[in-house]
Amino acid sequence: MTRHYVYILECADGTLYAGYTTEPERRLKEHNAGIGCKYTRGRLPVRMVYTASFATRGEALKEEARIKKLTRAQKLLLFRK
């Protein structure tokens, strides 16, 4: 059964990026190789600071959308306790 993940990256400039994947380790390597997304390409290196696992793609995408609406402070609370 495939798991679906939402993740948050912290970029070299301190900004945060949220995304969706089925393979967090592979996706992190892609981002750091400059083949991730346009946003992170100019902010390398990035590090994964948060992941959450879901049973369905729909659940993960809903959570990604929710996270993207959070303020920076709210996002930081997800992984800096």
Model confidence pLDDT, tens digit, residues 6-55: 999 999 999 999 999 999 999 999 999 999 899 999 999 999 999 999 99
**DSSP annotation of 37:** -
CA dihedral for 26, 4, 70, 78, sign (positive or negative): negative
**pLDDT-based confidence at 71, cuts 50/70/90?**
very high
Mean pLDDT along residues 61-77: 97
- CATH class of residue range 4-79: alpha beta
Cα–Cα distances (Å) from 33 to 43, 50, 58, 79, 81, in that order, read 11, 19, 28, 24, 29
Q: Is the pLDDT of residue 80 over 90?
A: no
Specify the pLDDT at position 19.
Answer: 97
Specify the pLDDT at position 81.
Answer: 63
